[in-house]
Amino acid sequence: MTFKITQAKPAMKQLSEAPTIDPSAVVVDCEFGVWTEIGPSTSIRESVMGDYSYVVNDSEIIYSDIGKFVNIAAHTRINPGQHPMDRASMHHFQYRSSAYQLGDDDPAFFDWRREKRVKLDHDVWIGHGAIVQGGVTIGIGSVVGSGAVVTKDVPPYTIVTGIPATPLRPRFDAEIVDALLRICWWDWDHATLADRLDDFRRLPVRDFCLKYDLR
């Protein structure tokens, strides 16, 4: 006996204003906006996530400020751990000393880590397997390509790729970028988004800007 399966997939998830957090996710000391989502086997600590943003599976985020409508793909690292390369040793025993029964942990080291927060601005897309190093800001509407390692700030509406990440091209010309930054559609409320959904789907970006850039 054989079975022909043309399509098999889980039922579509239904999000809500309350954060949707997978049971396998780890969340510590975070703040979330509405319509946010944390995917399976993802860890997020001491971070803020704005409205409508999400991260899918197997990712790690710490000490980060995430704007609205941010798209974070699987297997990403936002603000990965650093080691003290200027010391005689880089090993954990110096700052996670209690785990090795050597003494108290080193709070100054962790304070140093917390100072190097990452900022992902609104409508950013972090591609599969990308890494964003501590202290970096990713500008509004930018794209980080899959597998990229971002070590420097990224201007708004810029696509970066590679190791280390470098600009590939702008998403739009300067006129459109300026218009989108004036429109600030990411600040529209839920009812307005619903009312204008068809324009997001069907209008070319230049026509979208002509309609909503009320200078």
Q: Which residues are catalytic?
A: 83
- 10, 29, 45, 56 from 40: Cα distances, Å: 14, 18, 15, 7
Bridge-based pairing state of the strands 166-170 and 158-161: antiparallel
CB contact at 8 A, 54 and 68: no
> Pairing between strand 125-126 and 71-72?
parallel
Backbone angles phi, psi at 110, to 5 degrees: -70, -30
What are 201's two structure tokens? Answer: 């789907």
Q: Give the single-character DSSP code of 98.
A: G
Q: Calculate the CA dihedral of residues 144, 146, 152, 153 and round it to 10 degrees.
A: 10
